[in-house]
Structure 1
Amino acid sequence: MGTAIIKAMNAQELTKKLLNSEELFILDVRNTTEFNNWKIEGGKTEIVNIPYFDLLDGIEPALNQIPNDKNILVVCAKEGSSIFIAEQLIEAGRTSIHYLEGGMKAWSEHLEPIKVGDLRDGGEIFQFVRIGKGCLSYMIVSNGEAAMIDTLRMTAVFNQFAKDKGVQIKHTLDTHLHADHISGGRLLAEMTHATYWLPPKDADEVSFEYEALEEGKQIIVGDTKILIQPIYSPGHTIGSTSLIVDDQYLLSGDILFVESIGRPDLAGKAEDWVADLRTTLYETYKNLSQNLIVLPAHFGKVTELGEGGKVAARLGDLFTSNAGLNIDSDDEFRAAVTHNLPPQPNAYQEIRQTNMGRITPSEAEQREMEMGPNRCAVHDK
């Protein structure tokens, strides 16, 4: 009988291990379909999938695949199955056994705040990395005020961060109508008495009031006048709008990522929007300062995480390294972004309806709708 004690590892602790490239062996006991669809990746992790039901008659099938000299983390959907399997491993004499607290549901919702950099008049910009799902939100802070961009559903995290920084959230902005996750922008605006901004061309069917996010508007954060300048950049959606912040940063929404480009098909209009996407990437973005630092709304692969977990790249460098920005002909581009795309995000139609304010799912339903990876990018197959 082993003398070790089962321990919980929460999502924040797991994130730190991944970002610090600590060695960790993960035993994922979800069914194979769920595992193949979405798994924990990054750092120096090794992972094996042995479904829970294959271990009910005994833990022996797992023992041969689990090393003796590494920390072991057992993972399931909600934590219950992983606790049971972790206990079996300890009874079999294994040590350094943990289970993921809250399971993959908790992993999906964890946000890791990372400072991107300083702004010219004394402000700061922060990136919130939803490492389990690949979503990115941003907070711009200046002189006691803040603006949130592409706010995620976990609004309490942003509220607390603003309080800790001693700032008042004055604006929340969505670069487009999201289809892979539920926006928290409107709710956060209501909670903080802020102004909620949305591109009007994405708002034809919304059931709420908003401020039009469009070219010609200048959103000021703090007395130091850190400007957020909208740039119309359709292609992922018809209303997609990028933001230039402080003449330093390009918040590209789901148009441009570090290793890929946005997909045009999540509203069922891929053939209509392909030309818009190419124009945005190959003309609008090409005419911007190539020294702008691109800050996307998502990442698709853990290889896109840089130092400290930050997801960012210089625009000029992306025109060299990003395959989606180096397709010669219109026909090749059309084929690349409309054929052989990854599966569409989980419940994306219901998520779009929620973000329009047309349906109001419960908190539990929202969590279920968001399970799985984001799939807003065109990735090489």
Structure 2
Amino acid sequence: MGIQAIQAKTLAKKVMNQENFFILDVRNEEQFKDWKVEGKNVEIMNKPYFELLDGVESIAEEIPTDKEVIVVCAKEGSSQFVADQLAEEIGGEFFYLEGGMKTWSEHLEPVKVGDLDGGGELYQFVRIGKGCLSYAVISGGEAAIVDPVRLTDAYTSFFEEKNVQLKHAIDTHLHADHISGGRTLAEMFDAVYWLPSADATEVTFSYQPLEDETTINVGKTNIDIQALYSPGHTIGSTSLIVDNKYLLTGDILFVDSIGRPDLAGKAEDWVGDLRETLYNRYVDLDEQLIVLPAHFSKKEELDENGRVMAPLKELYARNHGLNIEEEETFRKTVTENLPPQPNSYETIRHTNMGTTFPSEEEQTEMEIGPNRCAISS
């Protein structure tokens, strides 16, 4: 009995396994409304820490006794204090999130998407606290990583576990909501770094242009990754078709929404490209392709196995962003009443260009909070 720390990795597995538990979030109301731990069977309550300094008697009756209770705060200290107060007031065992919401933002969980022809495998890395999704294609002792985040340890551990050598690091576009780990991984493994040239006009480093109809082979079994130019979120956005089964859409198409065209300040210029990609280029593709986006926004987008994916045919039937018939209505939908832009998005863009060099601590702070790459659902 008493209090016990719980790691972000353990909490992520609970959420992805759809376990039933209770979260007491003691951050201030504004932080809580902006971004929180969410899950299908997660019950959550917000009570700011400063209201509990004199004791937890005011909330004792609202704390369930029939399920696990986890207290979270920004960096750990406040949640540890409140968990201790709850254990003393109510009795029983309480948990606090080790490292706070900072660690929640940075945890990556690999989930197998499926097998590929010839013995390859495709994995989705779910950054559940941030909504970022990245991918690893492995085959014949080789690997390609797509849209990796800066938290490279998760990928290197995965490569070691799978006994594969990274050969390709690919960014589908110049990211604005998180710092890419693509160049870092490419340098670590002497791999090729791929980036769409239309997004790379201001970068300060060398790269291999990711162009339409480029084919990247992974392993002896030739798991083909075919590039498909699909602008709209950025002018260079490029989708990838893997093994003629999976469509990696970057930030163009999500399971529950579509990409926003305004993060480089060119919404009016790029909205036409976005519509062309979604309503023409993608329409010509095999409707049985499984869409794998670079982000998700809601807990409902995760399936029972913790994956974010859906057939293209299904998205054309139910995704609102794919069913706006009038072009003018579409234009207004994706350029007006957009959600707030990502935290520090301009600095993040310049970091990914290689023109700004924030410290590790600054990078962490820049990425805190939800992703905002989609228009509102």
Shared fold, TM over 0.5: yes
Deviations along 1:234-279, whole A, 9 cap, x unmatched? 0000000000111111000000000100000100100110000000
Deviation at 1:293, TM superposition (A): 0.6
Deviation at 1:13, TM superposition (A): 1.1
Contact 2:18 2:304 in 1 (8 A): no
RMSD value, Cα? 0.9
Distance 2:146 2:65 in 1: 45
> Could you say which residue in structure 1 is the equivalent of 2:252?
255
Distance 1:228 1:45 in 2: 37
Deviation at 1:88, TM superposition (A): 0.7
Equivalent positions of 1:8-87 (< 5 A) are: 8-87=5-84
Contact 1:17 1:43 in 2 (8 A): no
Matched position secondary structure for 2:122: strand
> Could you say which residue in structure 2 is the equivalent of 1:98?
95
Question: Could you tell me which of 119, 128, 133 is aligned with 2:130?
Answer: 133
Residues 1:269 and 2:266 aligned together: yes
Contact 2:17 2:304 in 1 (8 A): no
Distance 1:317 1:352 in 2: 32
The letter of the residue matching 1:369 is M
Distance 2:183 2:108 in 1: 19
Question: Could you tell me which of 180, 185, 197 is aligned with 1:188?
Answer: 185
The letter of the residue matching 1:182 is I
Matched position secondary structure for 2:21: strand
Deviations along 1:48-74, whole A, 9 cap, x unmatched? 111111111221222132122221100
Distance 2:320 2:167 in 1: 37
The letter of the residue matching 1:108 is S
Deviation at 1:347, TM superposition (A): 0.7
> Could you say which residue in structure 2 is the equivalent of 1:376?
373
The letter of the residue matching 2:117 is R
Distance 1:154 1:94 in 2: 38
Contact 1:134 1:373 in 2 (8 A): yes
Matched position secondary structure for 1:272: helix
The letter of the residue matching 1:231 is L
> Could you say which residue in structure 2 is the equivalent of 1:354?
351
Deviates more, 1:82-91 or 1:19-28: 19-28
The gaps in structure 2 that reach 5 residues or longer are none
Aligned residues: 377
Distance 1:311 1:9 in 2: 25
Distance 2:93 2:267 in 1: 49
> Could you say which residue in structure 2 is the equivalent of 1:337?
334
The letter of the residue matching 1:273 is W
Matched position secondary structure for 1:309: coil
Distance 2:337 2:270 in 1: 17
Equivalent positions of 1:227-306 (< 5 A) are: 227-306=224-303
Matched position secondary structure for 2:2: coil
The percent identity for this pair of structures is 62
Matched position secondary structure for 1:127: strand
Distance 2:16 2:368 in 1: 22
Contact 1:70 1:96 in 2 (8 A): no
Contact 1:237 1:264 in 2 (8 A): yes
The letter of the residue matching 1:153 is R
> Could you say which residue in structure 2 is the equivalent of 1:225?
222
Contact 2:215 2:226 in 1 (8 A): yes
TM-score, normalization: structure 2?
0.99
Distance 1:179 1:60 in 2: 44
Deviations along 1:146-202, whole A, 9 cap, x unmatched? 000001111111011011101000000000000000000000100111000000000
Matched position secondary structure for 2:12: helix
Contact 1:20 1:43 in 2 (8 A): no
The letter of the residue matching 2:76 is E
Contact 2:104 2:129 in 1 (8 A): yes
Matched position secondary structure for 2:113: strand
Deviation at 1:209, TM superposition (A): 0.5
The letter of the residue matching 1:230 is A
Distance 1:23 1:61 in 2: 24
Distance 1:94 1:259 in 2: 42
Distance 1:254 1:152 in 2: 14
Residues 1:113 and 2:110 aligned together: yes
The letter of the residue matching 1:17 is K
Question: Could you tell me which of 313, 324, 344 is aligned with 1:316?
Answer: 313
TM-score, normalization: structure 1?
0.98
Matched position secondary structure for 2:5: strand
